[in-house]
Amino acid sequence: MEILYASLIGFFLLLVIYLFYNHKSSENANLPPGKTGFPVIGETLEFLYAGWKGHSEKFISDRIAKYSSNIFKTSLFGSPFVVFCGVNGHRFLFSNENKLVRVWFPRSIHTIFLQSTETFSTEEAINGRKLIRNLIKPVGLQSHIGLMDTVAHCYFANYWENKDMVLVFPLAKHYTFLLACRLLMSIEDPNLVAILENPLGFVLKGAFSVPIDLPGTPLNRAIKASSFIQKELLVIIRQRKIDLAKGMASPTQDILSHMLLTSDDNGNFMHEADIANKIFGLLVGSHDNIASVCTSVVKYLAELPEIYLGVFQEQLGIAKSKAPGELLNWEDIQKMKYSWNVACEVMRLESPSPGTFREALTDFTYNGFSIPKGCKIYWNARSTHRNHEFFPEPQKFDPSRFEGSGPPPYAYAPFGGGPRMCPGKEFARLDILVFMHHLVKRFRWEKLIPGEKTVYTPLANPEKGLPIRLFPHEA
């Protein structure tokens, strides 16, 4: 018994000594102000709660005010973080990509999205990203605009026309997923689309959740959904390889064929599992983020008749310039300047992305604070998007902010910036504009829940799915 007491006292003393020196070392390191909250959970629940209440930027703005600093520490999704805010924070991170910082993913995201790439080298991962970027550059996407127009036409004919009322958010997600399946893998079979789409609802919820992998938790459900989808993708990939070998598929018909037949500078081809992972990431990115923007566009056009009228007149002019059956092309997209300004203002007010993560590659100093090597970093575009310093009357919807040279550098960043800017930016632009074109030339509409709140789970979405009443234009 005495030995047990002595052991407990010794352990207690060691714990006190450890905490004392850990506290002192933190002080000496001059880390940014803030707190890390509870073990594992940290401040994740406070972060998510702000989004559930429809004020996701409040988590950041409250701490900026509390600590009188545009940089602070916290703990989210199982990891301690330093949060960089404001234009200067964005500029520093974007301009020091792969110099002082590099991309990093929390354990939950890594487990869900990157499990199939753990056996591949960094060089293979870089080559895979290069291939994806090349495939979804503006030049590569121009030839797909006609297909996007065709998919959108069928989608609105099947899901919107002859309806008195629709629920926008789930329909917008279905639209973006249909389009992604066609462009990525030439999938048209509605049964196969449903098999792939149904589990996706679990993925994003698990990616930004408390990192506890137990049966029934959001993370556990997301891992299972990810595994199921990637197994289905492997079946599709292997069948495509057979079809290509037999001449039953075209080498240029979609992104999957390009990925299978394109080698890197050393003549190496991507592994099947890596292709499945890349396709999976593109499906998730195109499904939720773009659907969130399309839904917010519908919301604001319902609330602002004068803005709707401007978009309607622009899109109607483009529609009238087309011969019967003629599809949209690159020149038509370039004419949609006002519509894109409207979409940009929507993304300013309701940025779809919850932010991204970095890791310090070496010790450095920022704003007088020490950032040690290995420190995890988080940035969020919402810290500037509603800041009156960069956007006068920030609550006002004003598409003219994006005319001319647009907002100040680094103030507007819905797609990130620097070398890690979202490679799907141009794909998203085309996706959103084609959606707006088909929507406004067919309908005007009104919200059925006038005061419906936008919540973040973690992406912006209307609390009740945005039910609207449709009023078709007269032929």
The confidence score (pLDDT) of residue 22 equals: 42
Q: Does residue 427 carry a pLDDT above 60?
A: yes
For the chain, the average pLDDT equals 86
* Predicted model pTM: 0.86
For residues 138 and 222, the model is more confident at: 222
Q: Which strand (E) or helix (H) includes residue 108?
A: helix 107-113
Reply yes or no on whether the pLDDT at 458 is more than 80: no
Residue 113: band (very low, low, confident or very high) from pLDDT cuts 50, 70, 90 = confident
Tell me, what's the pLDDT at 53? 77
- Measured CA to CA in angstroms, residue 416 lies from 88, 173, 216, 384, 412 at distances of 14, 22, 33, 12, 9
- pLDDT higher than threshold 60 for residue 255: yes
The residue type of 10 is G
- Please state the rounded mean pLDDT for residues 90-111: 89
The neighbour count for residue 39, using CB atoms within 10 Å, is 8
CA 209 – CA 218 distance, rounded (Å): 7
- The string of pLDDT tens digits covering residues 376-411 is 999 988 888 988 899 999 999 999 999 998 999 899
Minimum mean pLDDT range among 20-24, 258-262, 370-374: 20-24
Strand partners, 360: 101
pLDDT digits (tens, 9 = 90+) for 201-246: 888 888 877 778 899 999 999 999 999 999 999 999 999 999 999 9
Which residue has better confidence, 300 or 116? 300
Fill in the amino acid letter for 153.
H
Per-residue pLDDT of 65-89, as tens digits, reads 899 989 999 998 778 899 999 999 9
Decide if pLDDT at 61 tops 90.
no
- The pLDDT assigned to 127 comes to 55
Confidence of residue 6 (pLDDT cuts 50, 70, 90): very low
**What digits encode the pLDDT tens for the residues 147-193?**
999 999 999 999 999 999 999 999 999 999 999 999 999 999 999 99
Distance CA 358, CA 377 (A): 5
Q: Which three-class secondary structure state does DSSP give residue 423?
A: coil
pLDDT at 116: 43
* pLDDT over 90, % of the chain: 57
Evaluate the omega torsion of the peptide bond into residue 305 and state whether it is cis, within 30 degrees of 0: no
Mean pLDDT on 139-152: 89
Q: Give the Cα-Cα-Cα angle 385, 417, 226 (nearest 5 degrees).
A: 95
3-state helix, strand, coil in the chain (%, to 5): 55, 10, 30
Most confident of 122-126, 178-182, 252-256: 178-182
The top-scoring range by mean pLDDT among 126-130, 134-138, 196-200, 336-340 is 336-340
Residue 367 has pLDDT above 70, yes or no: yes
pLDDT of residue 348: 94
* pLDDT attached to residue 324: 92
The pair of three-digit structure tokens given for residue 161, joined into one six-digit string: 């026309």
